[in-house]
Structure 1
Amino acid sequence: MVFKRMLRAFGVGGPSVDTVLSNPNTRPGLTLAGQVNITGGDHDVEIDQITVALVTRVEMETSDEEYDGTVEFHRVPICGELRLAAGQQLSLPFEVDVPWETPVTDVYGQRLPGMTMGLRTKIWVRGALDPGDLDDVHVYPLPVQERILAAFAALGLPFTGADLEHGKLAGLPQTMPFYQEIEYASAPQYPGVNQIELTFLADPHGVTVVLEFDKKSGLFTPGHDSYGHYRVEHAAADSVDWVGQVDSWLRQSLEQRHTLLGGYGGHGDHGDHGSGMGGMLAGAAGGAIAGFAAGMVAEEVFDAFGGDEEE
């Protein structure tokens, strides 16, 4: 009997769980729906709660090392206390709101290299190790984000990688404990800079677009990177010439950066650069771009992310 109790404490003979997502594809601000299927083991158990949570891998940094860690950033309870009999089967439906600042993991059917995202199910079994399940999740960009990513490709900026950085961008409306950087090498029309990092901070009304330069090149000391940020409303997705707009953002931010480099002895500044453009985008008119993701431009996007289109 003692041996059996020990086995049960390690989860042997306990319940099993299988989570099935109705659709693993989503966008920031939308939902993930599915059901948690539970099968009782060879003995009755008391369950304190069942939860699902969005998890991802984030780059952590200390004074002497960098490492990746798994971060749970949004947990939702599915049910509270219940008794699960031996062999009993339960199916519990759920719907999870995807936070607006959830990182983009996929673009046009291609997984962004460096991005991971999953929905972790956990059964909190009293007095035993908790069984769980992990399901892959694909987060696609919002329309505004998609147009901006396509514009980067059309401007000839080579995609080099993506990651999640632990921490906060000073002075910006960030709610997550991390932020996504989508990284590009520079192009000849933007001299004086080697690397550009693109960050999206979305909310129900729009997206704050952050452009950061040469953070990992060694040109700036930690805490003295250079960036500009701009605001665009969701409604502007199909009413702006995004290639022209992104080019304008980059040139304006770089001009301000060069001014700061001259004024601060070679270091950038985390000031509120470029914010004068905030709010102007919602009323901006430009070339129609509703079909921007098709044809030649779409091919450039696929090339930029290192793969062919997948259905």
Structure 2
Amino acid sequence: MVFKKMLGALGVGGPSVDTVLSNPNTRPGLPLTGQVNLTGGKNDVELAHITLGLVTRIEVDSPHGGDHSTVGEFHRTAVAGRTKLAAGQQLSIPFQVDMPWETPVTDVYGQRLHGMTMGLRTEVAIDRAIDKGDLDHVAVHPLPVQERILEAFSRLGFRFKGADLEYGRLHGVHQSLPFYQEIEFYPGPQYAHGISEVELTFVANPQTVEVVLEFDKRGGMFVGGHDAYGRYTVPHSHADTADWAQVVDGWVRQAVEARQTFFASRGGFAGMGGHGKSHGHGGHRGGGMGGMVAGAALGVAGGMIAGEMIEEAFEDDGGDFGDFGE
């Protein structure tokens, strides 16, 4: 997708910017490439810098109670420092944005996860005048291990409920970003007697993916419901070597059958229980239930709907772009 915008903050007759992505589809850890095309205005100018930022919507707990969503920038890449742009000059600057390994997933099998938005923002500065430009839509697809696990939940009958980003930390899990993604499922029929909901979180790094599960367990006649937690470390190299439906079934059955937080995983992957969540000012929000969507030939349980364009998704934020940055 392409956007072209007169840099209004830099004055009438100023330069315009047209940012073009080579391909808006990417994965965590992979580069996002393109070029920033500048056209000079009526006068010669010297640009102080050109910077690109990844922007997304995050759920934050209010210190006074309740929660709200805000749009924040969480990763920045410098495209150019001081650059002279003559009147009417056309200048094209290539860029590469290396996606953080913990970048949340927005699209699965070509379908947008309901509740997820992601954009690339172009910032151009001349002296003290800064124009943050528009947003270019970015689609972040899962890593192979993440895709296999999501597919396994689908095969086991889990139904997608919603996804969001929570501002906060996972206990015992190394995070470089100050938020984490929750992908929520309703249980398959064979598990519905024991759990009412599952929240899945991926925290990836170059070698492995941490898989964190939170199970909302149903209560009985004399026993109240409670949460159970599981944490599993999965190497990227195991993406195509495991029976993922069997592995995930083992994880879920441990949560259903255990009388206390479980500490072991199945299938040879390191696991430990009781990760806990520290929200700081972050909160918890459940997404709305979606319909069923066929994902590729394998089929993935749905609720993943084609998302709104990023401009529409963010249009009600009134330009309130905070920084969740590194």
TM range (shorter): 0.7 to 0.9
CA deviation profile, 1:141-163 (whole Å, cap 9, x unmatched): 11111010011111111111100
The answer to whether structure 1 residue 32 and structure 2 residue 28 are counterparts is no
CA distance in structure 2 between the partners assigned to 1:9 and 1:150 by the alignment: 46
Aligned counterpart, 2:269:
281
Q: 1:72 to 1:294 in 2, by over 3 A?
A: closer
Aligned counterpart, 1:239:
241
Structure 1 residue identity aligned to 2:22? S
State the shift of 1:172 in Å.
Answer: 0.9
The answer to whether structure 1 residue 184 and structure 2 residue 185 are counterparts is yes
CA distance in structure 1 between the partners assigned to 2:205 and 2:302 by the alignment: 27
State the shift of 1:294 in Å.
Answer: 6.2
CA distance in structure 2 between the partners assigned to 1:253 and 1:37 by the alignment: 53
CA distance in structure 1 between the partners assigned to 2:9 and 2:154 by the alignment: 54
CA distance in structure 1 between the partners assigned to 2:9 and 2:118 by the alignment: 30
Structure 2 residue identity aligned to 1:22? S
Q: TM-score, normalised by structure 2?
A: 0.76
Structure 2 residue identity aligned to 1:97? D
Aligned counterpart, 1:248:
250
Aligned counterpart, 1:137:
138
Structure 2 residue identity aligned to 1:24? P
State the shift of 1:252 in Å.
Answer: 1.7
Q: 1:156 to 1:8 in 2, by over 3 A?
A: closer
CA distance in structure 1 between the partners assigned to 2:161 and 2:9 by the alignment: 46
CA distance in structure 1 between the partners assigned to 2:56 and 2:182 by the alignment: 14
Q: 1:39 to 1:165 in 2, by over 3 A?
A: same
CA distance in structure 2 between the partners assigned to 1:234 and 1:278 by the alignment: 17
Residues 11, 131 of structure 1: 8 Å contact kept: no
Q: 1:8 to 1:243 in 2, by over 3 A?
A: closer
Aligned counterpart, 2:60:
60
CA deviation profile, 1:4-25 (whole Å, cap 9, x unmatched): xxx9866322111111011110
CA distance in structure 1 between the partners assigned to 2:123 and 2:210 by the alignment: 34
CA distance in structure 2 between the partners assigned to 1:178 and 1:278 by the alignment: 27
State the shift of 1:225 in Å.
Answer: 5.1
CA distance in structure 1 between the partners assigned to 2:123 and 2:165 by the alignment: 24
CA distance in structure 2 between the partners assigned to 1:8 and 1:125 by the alignment: 12
CA distance in structure 2 between the partners assigned to 1:307 and 1:136 by the alignment: 15
Aligned counterpart, 1:304:
302
Secondary structure in structure 2 of the residue aligned to 1:42:
coil
Aligned counterpart, 1:71:
72
CA distance in structure 1 between the partners assigned to 2:9 and 2:163 by the alignment: 40
Secondary structure in structure 2 of the residue aligned to 1:196:
strand
Q: 1:57 to 1:34 in 2, by over 3 A?
A: same
The answer to whether structure 1 residue 105 and structure 2 residue 103 are counterparts is no
Structure 2 residue identity aligned to 1:89? Q
CA distance in structure 1 between the partners assigned to 2:42 and 2:159 by the alignment: 56
Q: TM-score, normalised by structure 1?
A: 0.79
CA distance in structure 2 between the partners assigned to 1:150 and 1:22 by the alignment: 28
Residues 61, 67 of structure 1: 8 Å contact kept: yes
The alignment yields a C-alpha RMSD, in angstroms, of 2.6
State the shift of 1:126 in Å.
Answer: 1.5
Matches within 5 A, 1:149-228: 149-190=150-191, 191-214=193-216, 226-228=228-230
Q: 1:77 to 1:162 in 2, by over 3 A?
A: same
CA deviation profile, 1:170-229 (whole Å, cap 9, x unmatched): 1112221110000011233223321110000111011111101239x9x88xxx953211
Structure 1 residue identity aligned to 2:79? I
Residues 113, 305 of structure 2: 8 Å contact kept: no
State the shift of 1:44 in Å.
Answer: 2.3
Give percent identity, aligned residues only.
58
Residues 17, 131 of structure 1: 8 Å contact kept: no
Structure 1 residue identity aligned to 2:99? V
| Structure 1 moving runs of 4+ over 6 Å | none
Aligned pair count reads 269
Relative contact order, higher structure (CA 8 A, sep 6+): 2
